[in-house]
Structure 1
Amino acid sequence: MLITKKIQYILYKLHNILLSYSGGLDSSVLLYDLVQLRKKYPSITIRAIHINHNLNYISKTWINKCFLTCKKLHVDFIYKNIFIYKKSNIEEEARIKRYKILNNLIKADEYLVTAHHLDDQCETILLALKRGSGLKGLSGIAEQNNIKKMKIFRPLLYISKKKILWYALQHNITWIDDPSNIDNRYDRNFLRNIILPQINIRWPFFRKTIIRSAKICQEQETLLNEFLNPILNNLIQENKSIFFIPLKFYSVYKRYAILRKWLEYNKCHMVTYKTLSLIWNEVICAQKLTSKIIIHKKIICKNNTYLFCLNYIPTLQKIILFWYDIKHALILPYKLGTLCIVKKDITNSIVVRYPYENENIYVKFYDNQKIYFCQNNFKKININHIWNKLSIPIYKRNQIPLLFYNNCLIADLENNLITIHGKVMPNNQSLYITWIKIE
């Protein structure tokens, strides 16, 4: 077998495997080795998933070839289609859609196994250098990691492409040649087909040394996390904002390192030094409360002494969502989640009075007009006054669903605020509303 005994034992311990199977050389060799391993350990289960990117007119024939190979090897086969509509950054768009499918299909007790190899690692690190990445980017591909709830293992990561090819020829393994692999318009192909062969001729030891550098970067990144995490944990709030005042007393390098870690915590990755400088100078140090910058579909803004990283959502001002049948969930726009009626009070549910027969139920969002919150003494207060006390940033406010009966505000569903008109009285039935958010 091509994979070492150590890797064989790790795969045996994983037990249930979902192989990302393109039908190309690397994944075909890995499939062959996994089947050989299953002969040794019959308790191992293998499923193979083929994702057709529909970037080549013959790609549909590859599905059939992959299916027949899996059938011959008694491996369960799944295939899915994705379509790329962007004309630029195709590789990144394909990766996002691919992982979305994998994340939805993988079972709780399965590990995703991919055929990334040593040459892939070198390409990834060189691409990170091109982007001006820091330690995390230069750490390259990890042998094991998690993406969301998906556990990933890469058993071929320290094996060269040349060795994989030689092994395939020795064992008469057939594979699909994708013509797009010779298209040097793609950055990875340019490195693979033109740059790396020249480097390896000049410096045959290059792959080993670049892996050593990646390992050092991984260690440095781990060490940096050990120093920064305690500080970060003290600054991050429950709503994922960060208390930024202490950052003013740190060096620029320490300050930016903490900001970068905080952005990663908010799922905003690969932020440049220039962007960190903009966040500091044009948001944190700005006099205007409405100062903001938008990066990677995220809004970075502040409120008082807190910095927020919010999902960017186009204006919702003119949207009114009528909830005609409360037996069914109300789907909110722009992946804000759904509103559901539950039978009893549960965690994170809000309790309001049941609507009267002549009342229309609808949800709308803050639209910069004066919306008044009616207190127990029927005194009206502008809802902005309440949100200011709760330190809710301006750009968060237009994402808060507000529940209305006819033209009367009943509740702020984000902050569990209920007006006197929505309060449950002794002669009223209760309505339990839960907002299920999409993480």
Structure 2
Amino acid sequence: MLFNDFRAFMAPYIHQPLSVAYSGGMDSHVLLHLLWRLREQHPFMQIGAVHVHHGLSPNADQWQSHCERVCQALGIALTSRRVKVLMKGRQSLEAQAREARYQAIDEAVGTDTAVLLGQHQRDQLESFLLQLKRGAGPRGLSAMADSQRSGDRLYLRPLLQQPPSSLRQYAQEFALQWVEDESNLHTGFERNFLRHEIVPLLEARWPHIGSTVARSARLCAEQQTLLDECTSGHLARLRQKDGSLCLKGLVGFSLSWQRQIVRLWLLDAGLPVPTEKQLEQIIRQAMQAREDAAPSVKVANWQVRRFQQRLYLTGSIVNTMPEELIWRGEKVFVLPDGRRLEFTPGYKGGESNEILLNIAQEDSVAVCFARLNDRFTPAGSRHSKPLKQWLKLWRVPPWQRSQLPLIYLNHRLVAVLGLEGPELADTEGNKPGWLRIRLAGSGKTLPS
């Protein structure tokens, strides 16, 4: 029965590479064995396993050796990764270990590989209760999805609808051997407390609570999907080309819709779900702060800022930009904020984040930052003004201005990369000295 359910679930995915997140415990061993049996029926399948060695247990080396023996016996390639979990901030050790595990898995397998996770119905019940304890809404109460994308990675949970008794019965039927993580008995961890102290009481009183909560999670997920579809339409009308959010349009919605739109705006940018308090701060400060104020609210490692009736999302401002970079034929300059300046000889361009220069052999090209008092004449203009006046006129947010790469040709400011370049009227000529300068990577200071 379990194998039939597994085979039906996996039918759409058998033609892509698959890898099991294999800890050596019973759940992941059952999952690995099911996948091995499925490959016996479809020999063309590309399957593998990945094991993460946390180093948190004195038995971790033995667990890795166990995983290696099992995979060798099944003829499944195993990739192992070692990680160090260091306590930091207010995040729990459990959460940090989980974060390190997913990062290691993501780095260990190709982006076209779907990763199979061994969570089952009781894990779903625990996740639901944890989210309920945290005061989550429909998104959180959706708990875990049986298929989920995170960036380019597809995660699959083929056993999510299965009670743990089905997995144990299968493991005993095939005489599977697995390891037991002693930390699973420590009720100091929230999930373990639920598993050993709370869930058994609930199951004793309501034997089918695992399946009913799983149904509630699916219904919450369905409602959240519908809500996101509706919210996405509103967000698309409010989001500007640079990723900022139009406040004039936002104030036309009710407070509940404002929360939904801002929440989805942040999630689309890759941030974690904001707390209710953070949402209230963003909306209150954005709407009620005086006109000349520059409110800022921290969400994770990012800042939500207001400027010219728009909301912007920025990372930590990098104040160590180089004073001057002289181009001597290099292909790439890597900036402290992660952005790259790419230099390519030849005429090829047209994108907003690149410029074209026609240079002679004796010309000098330099990239500078924060020289806002230097005079600049934009393309098509007859007037020269200090750059800071143009940036103010163009409504460039103040925190971005010192981060803009300024291009100098023979010590004269000729372009602001990403905003204004030189006249290109003669680009169709036969001059041989064309240089393409391109800004790549979003960095952490510009809007997402």
TM-score (norm 1): 0.88
| Alpha-carbon separation, structure 2, partners of 1:374 and 1:72 | 71
| Alpha-carbon separation, structure 2, partners of 1:392 and 1:12 | 51
Listed one character per residue, the Cα deviations across residues 49-95 of structure 1 (whole Å, up to 9, x for unaligned) are: 11222222332332222112111100011111222223442333334
Residue 329 of structure 1 contacts residue 340 of structure 1 at CA under 8 Å; is this kept in 2? yes
Which one of the candidate residues 352, 355, 360 is aligned to 1:350? 355
- Give the drift of 1:96: 3.6
Listed one character per residue, the Cα deviations across residues 160-185 of structure 1 (whole Å, up to 9, x for unaligned) are: 22332232123211112222222233
Listed one character per residue, the Cα deviations across residues 339-371 of structure 1 (whole Å, up to 9, x for unaligned) are: 22224414443213448658473443x37x634
The amino acid that maps onto 2:77 is: D
- Give the drift of 1:311: 2.1
Residue 366 of structure 2 contacts residue 408 of structure 2 at CA under 8 Å; is this kept in 1? yes
Which one of the candidate residues 354, 358, 382 is aligned to 2:386? 382
Shift of the 39–356 alpha-carbon distance from structure 1 to 2, 3 Å rule, reads: same
More displaced stretch, 351-360 vs 160-169? 351-360
1:269 maps to 272
More displaced stretch, 188-197 vs 393-402? 393-402
The answer to whether residue 30 in structure 2 is matched with residue 26 in structure 1 is no
Shift of the 400–289 alpha-carbon distance from structure 1 to 2, 3 Å rule, reads: farther
More displaced stretch, 48-57 vs 294-303? 48-57
The answer to whether residue 130 in structure 2 is matched with residue 127 in structure 1 is yes
Which SS does the other structure have where 1:249 is aligned?
coil
More displaced stretch, 354-363 vs 58-67? 354-363
- Give the drift of 1:405: 5.9
The answer to whether residue 82 in structure 2 is matched with residue 78 in structure 1 is no
The answer to whether residue 53 in structure 2 is matched with residue 48 in structure 1 is no
More displaced stretch, 243-252 vs 408-417? 408-417
| Alpha-carbon separation, structure 2, partners of 1:354 and 1:95 | 53
Shift of the 433–129 alpha-carbon distance from structure 1 to 2, 3 Å rule, reads: same
Which one of the candidate residues 390, 393, 399 is aligned to 1:395? 399
5+ long unaligned stretches in structure 2: 444-448
The answer to whether residue 303 in structure 2 is matched with residue 309 in structure 1 is no
Which SS does the other structure have where 1:9 is aligned?
helix
Matches within 5 A, 1:397-416: 397-404=401-408, 408-416=412-420
- Give the drift of 1:325: 4.8
| Alpha-carbon separation, structure 1, partners of 2:306 and 2:162 | 48
The amino acid that maps onto 1:392 is: V
| Alpha-carbon separation, structure 2, partners of 1:431 and 1:136 | 49
Residue 333 of structure 2 contacts residue 342 of structure 2 at CA under 8 Å; is this kept in 1? yes
- Give the drift of 1:153: 1.3
The amino acid that maps onto 2:342 is: C
| Alpha-carbon separation, structure 2, partners of 1:64 and 1:407 | 63
Matches within 5 A, 1:288-367: 288-316=292-320, 319-320=322-323, 322=325, 325-335=328-338, 337-344=339-346, 345-346=348-349, 347=351, 348-354=353-359, 359=364, 361-364=366-369, 366=370
| Alpha-carbon separation, structure 2, partners of 1:159 and 1:321 | 61
Which one of the candidate residues 224, 228, 233 is aligned to 1:230? 233
Shift of the 199–320 alpha-carbon distance from structure 1 to 2, 3 Å rule, reads: farther
Give me the CA root mean square deviation.
Answer: 2.9
Shift of the 343–59 alpha-carbon distance from structure 1 to 2, 3 Å rule, reads: farther
2:446 maps to none
Aligned length: 432
More displaced stretch, 262-271 vs 162-171? 162-171
Residue 327 of structure 2 contacts residue 364 of structure 2 at CA under 8 Å; is this kept in 1? no
Residue 363 of structure 1 contacts residue 404 of structure 1 at CA under 8 Å; is this kept in 2? yes
2:8 maps to 9
| Alpha-carbon separation, structure 2, partners of 1:93 and 1:314 | 26
Which SS does the other structure have where 2:241 is aligned?
coil
2:263 maps to 260
1:176 maps to 179
The answer to whether residue 193 in structure 2 is matched with residue 190 in structure 1 is yes
| Alpha-carbon separation, structure 2, partners of 1:410 and 1:93 | 48
Residue 136 of structure 1 contacts residue 221 of structure 1 at CA under 8 Å; is this kept in 2? yes
| Alpha-carbon separation, structure 2, partners of 1:361 and 1:60 | 53
Which SS does the other structure have where 1:415 is aligned?
coil
More displaced stretch, 14-23 vs 282-291? 282-291
| Alpha-carbon separation, structure 2, partners of 1:268 and 1:123 | 24
More displaced stretch, 177-186 vs 320-329? 320-329
- Using the aligned pairs only, state the percent identity: 26
| Alpha-carbon separation, structure 1, partners of 2:170 and 2:431 | 78
- Give the drift of 1:147: 0.8
The amino acid that maps onto 2:273 is: M
- Give the drift of 1:292: 1.2
More displaced stretch, 244-253 vs 140-149? 244-253
2:114 maps to 111
TM-score (norm 2): 0.86
The amino acid that maps onto 2:8 is: Y
More displaced stretch, 384-393 vs 10-19? 384-393
Shift of the 254–81 alpha-carbon distance from structure 1 to 2, 3 Å rule, reads: same
Residue 301 of structure 1 contacts residue 395 of structure 1 at CA under 8 Å; is this kept in 2? no
Shift of the 325–156 alpha-carbon distance from structure 1 to 2, 3 Å rule, reads: farther
| Alpha-carbon separation, structure 1, partners of 2:410 and 2:103 | 40
The amino acid that maps onto 2:41 is: K
Which SS does the other structure have where 1:56 is aligned?
coil
| Alpha-carbon separation, structure 2, partners of 1:298 and 1:218 | 27
Which SS does the other structure have where 1:361 is aligned?
strand
Residue 284 of structure 1 contacts residue 302 of structure 1 at CA under 8 Å; is this kept in 2? no
Which SS does the other structure have where 2:251 is aligned?
helix
The amino acid that maps onto 2:60 is: S
| Alpha-carbon separation, structure 2, partners of 1:373 and 1:77 | 59
